[in-house]
Structure 1
Amino acid sequence: MATGGSFLARVRAAVPVLRPAERRLGELVTDFPGELASYSASELAALAGVSNATVTRFVRRLGYQSYEEARRHAREERTTGSRFYIAAAAPAAEAVSSYTERDSRNLELSLGGIETEEIDRLAARLLSARKVWVIGFRASTAFAVYLQWQLTQVMENIVAIPGAGQTMGEHLVSLRPEDVVIFFAMRRRIARTEALLEQIRAAGAALVYVTDEGIAPLDTAQWHFRCETASPGPLFSHVAVMGLCNLIANRTIVQADRDGRERLRGIERLNDALDEL
């Protein structure tokens, strides 16, 4: 009998020693734990093609007193944002229109309430910063690198961290109150997110925090943008995150004005001279 650990860890530990019917149920739950979080015992039994008694034996082997206890644990774990809890064992055939409609809705919910003045204040702060640090891990790495690349067109002192083989300490030691940190922390966030936020706060740098809608507003952030990530499919939608990056980059280039245009002209001259594009 497995006890302790996460719900999925319990299931994975138990599957190799389960009886055939229980193993079939265990393999289903391993691949689609959201089914147990959402379905009744009878519904799950029907989906797996086993009896209700098999479901009862299965959850007891996991160390739970009842199916409801197991389901509560699975529901708690679902809030971590694992895509395993989104996938369905019998997914519906979603039309392309359902994706476009959901993405449009995500953009509206995420950006619709943002005032141009707020973005322009952010752009001005970025342009006046001693240095801008853009942080992202896992899926958020792509957003950090993309925004850093776009802003480099009008900003010299901007870097995406951490780089390959680098530690965060090597960068955080240089944080100053005159700096700005743009921290992308889309789910699933890394375990040391809170520790990194505390270090940024302690350094006195301005924080631009970009998260999914599941994260509560952060009082210590000067800007906290919460992006909707709902999707008809098993993966999160990041259309709103890219929309936010586009908004920030464009307004910052506009705010850069003459100095920004001069840098852009210099970049183009060098691209022509080096025949890179």
Structure 2
Amino acid sequence: MRERIERTWTQLSPVERRLAELVLEHAEDLAGYTGAELADASGTSKASVSRFFRRLGFDSFAQARADARGLRARGVPLGGLPPDAGDAVDLHLAHDARNLAAAAQALDRDALEAAARLLAGARRVVVAGWRNSYPVALHLREQLLQARADVALVPQPGQTVAEEVASLGERDAFVLVAFRRRPPAVAAVLGHVSGLGVPSVVLADPTARPATAAARHRFEVPVDGPGAFDSYAAATAVVAVLAEAVLARCGARGRARRGAVARAHEALSELEVR
């Protein structure tokens, strides 16, 4: 929106410039306005609002508003909590509670069991995540390491992924964390790994369906937040459920692994003791 206004600024009338200044001021929450509200706030008319957005290259204000909504739906951090929205903490906690309930309802228990068996029994597990997905992938990898060895995280800083996946085969497992605003590499890596015969697990939001169709197991988690930013509370909860299921499937081997890790922590004095 800002780029469109800057390109046409010299062609705008005084009335349109007044509208442009208002739109720039409220660009982040434009999707929440109606044409009448913009007209009232700028002291213009609905007809002026319509002409202004046509000047910017939209068919109508409705198209401009839909464009703004589409950006937010793809995870672009637009908007934010309005000043009169109420207590921000309560709003976030209530929204996360709804996301957690939705994730729990959507979680296929049979698929969870199958994915846990896969990750517990695989020779090697590679977990991949880019951008906002990386911290979730890191957390999953750290939890899986409590239950079993040979769990890698990609990409590491300065690393490409090819070296980590080139030697994977049918006895291994690939976990892709792919929440929205994903790079194109997500689909390419999953496609390559699937072509090698590697069974895969995907943890993502619903927008990832086209990019992750090749996955054997897919768990969809809502990440939308009440304001400008996405929330990963439900994603973290699903990670905990999946890791717990893997630990249970590892049985005595998992208990032995946890004991070995605990002894190593103690020997290295890596964790505080109270």
| TM bin (shorter chain) | 0.7 to 0.9
1:173 corresponds to: 166
| 1:1-277 alignment runs, 5 A limit | 7=1, 9-11=3-5, 13=7, 20-30=17-27, 32=28, 34-35=29-30, 37-47=31-41, 49-52=42-45, 55-84=49-78, 86-87=79-80, 90=83, 92-94=85-87, 96-114=89-107, 116-216=109-209, 219-277=213-271
Q: In 2, are the aligned partners of 1:60 and 1:66 still within 8 Å (CA)?
A: yes
Instruction: Point out where structure 2 has 5 or more consecutive residues left out of the alignment.
Output: none
Aligned residues: 266
Percent same amino acid at aligned positions? 29
CA offsets per residue over residues 248-268 of structure 1, 9 Å max, x none? Answer: 111211221111111222222
**What is the CA–CA distance in structure 2 between the aligned matches of 1:224 and 1:118, rounded to whole Å?**
8
Q: In 2, are the aligned partners of 1:15 and 1:26 still within 8 Å (CA)?
A: no
Q: In 1, are the aligned partners of 2:2 and 2:24 still within 8 Å (CA)?
A: no
Q: In 2, are the aligned partners of 1:45 and 1:55 still within 8 Å (CA)?
A: yes
Q: In the superposition, relative to structure 1, how do residues 14 and 219 fare at CA in structure 2: closer, same or farther (>3 Å)?
A: same
CA offsets per residue over residues 57-98 of structure 1, 9 Å max, x none? Answer: 5323422343334334434444322121x4356551246444
Q: In 2, are the aligned partners of 1:16 and 1:23 still within 8 Å (CA)?
A: no
Q: In the superposition, relative to structure 1, how do residues 158 and 70 fare at CA in structure 2: closer, same or farther (>3 Å)?
A: same
Q: In the superposition, relative to structure 1, how do residues 74 and 114 fare at CA in structure 2: closer, same or farther (>3 Å)?
A: closer
Q: In the superposition, relative to structure 1, how do residues 80 and 114 fare at CA in structure 2: closer, same or farther (>3 Å)?
A: closer
**What is the CA–CA distance in structure 2 between the aligned matches of 1:65 and 1:149, rounded to whole Å?**
50
Q: In 2, are the aligned partners of 1:15 and 1:27 still within 8 Å (CA)?
A: no
Q: In 1, are the aligned partners of 2:126 and 2:152 still within 8 Å (CA)?
A: yes
SS, match of residue 135 in structure 1: strand
Q: In the superposition, relative to structure 1, how do residues 14 and 138 fare at CA in structure 2: closer, same or farther (>3 Å)?
A: farther
Q: In 2, are the aligned partners of 1:179 and 1:206 still within 8 Å (CA)?
A: yes
Task: Give the drift of 1:271.
Answer: 1.8
Q: In the superposition, relative to structure 1, how do residues 13 and 134 fare at CA in structure 2: closer, same or farther (>3 Å)?
A: farther
Deviates more, 1:117-126 or 1:238-247: 117-126
- Corresponding letter in the other structure for 2:268: L
SS, match of residue 189 in structure 2: helix
- Corresponding letter in the other structure for 1:10: R
* C-alpha RMSD of matched pairs (Å): 2.8
**What is the CA–CA distance in structure 2 between the aligned matches of 1:109 and 1:16, rounded to whole Å?**
49
**What is the CA–CA distance in structure 2 between the aligned matches of 1:51 and 1:258, rounded to whole Å?**
73
Q: Structure 2 length normalisation: TM-score?
A: 0.83
**What is the CA–CA distance in structure 1 between the aligned matches of 2:241 and 2:234, rounded to whole Å?**
10
**What is the CA–CA distance in structure 1 between the aligned matches of 2:149 and 2:168, rounded to whole Å?**
16
Q: In 1, are the aligned partners of 2:81 and 2:88 still within 8 Å (CA)?
A: no
Task: Give the drift of 1:169.
Answer: 2.6
CA offsets per residue over residues 3-52 of structure 1, 9 Å max, x none? Answer: xxxx564346556986652441242253x1x42x34322222334x3423
